[in-house]
Amino acid sequence: MLLVSIEDRGAVRVITYANAPFGTMTAAGSAEMFGAVATASEDPSVRVIVITGGIPGIFIRHYDVGELSDAADAIERGAPRAPSPPGPRPPGFHALTDMIAAVEKPVIAAINGLCMGGGFELSLACDLRIAGNDVTAIGLPETRLGIFPGGGGTQRLPRIIGEARALEMVLRGLTVTGPRAHEIGIVHEVVADPLVRALEIGAELSSRGAEGLASAKRLTRTALDRPLAEGLADERKSFAAVMRTASARDGLRVGRPPAEIQKV
């Protein structure tokens, strides 16, 4: 059963996840999503990626608890790992979120409903998050089950909202509504229709130089993970490289003030 569908809206590719009826993320879903994002990242006609949920009121509810429980039981039993089938091993959830964060193209999460646990961690890997104003739960409730966020939540959330507030959410297993998520900086906007708004932003970004956006994303993503001097050196080197691209030269010519204004 296919869990992922894709649709191109101009240069924006919409990747929709729908694991009916509950909307949980699974190993199979992670592998399908990985393939969809990888394909979009390699397609030159795709300039922006939007990820959303295909079940009304659900973005991604959380990672499948049954799969996690089975994994915990296997670890407790010390059961030997079953032989891997021939061929490459399917990419898992961690590979998916890491790729979303690293892909050169902007990735927007259109959070159309419940977004908890692994679903929230996937959205944290995206560059922009747009939530519906009727979303009732966004957060990381894992500590309520005796575990903790293991799909990037403990690392990405503090970088977005700060250590103190992230600790409160993670330790207490808190969830918040869409409007509250916007108030504390988890999502960038809260709107009536997050997919429509994500497509508007995607169209805006699609009109800009791909090389400039790719460098801007990479440099901003790594800014807090290395010394300032190293980041500045990389920024200056990358700026010089982007300035040599056709898209930068075209953009600068379009944005140049008329000659009569330049003389003033």
**Residues involved in catalysis:** 121, 142
**Beta bridge pairs of residue 113:** 57
Rounded Cα distance between 125 and 117, Å, is 13
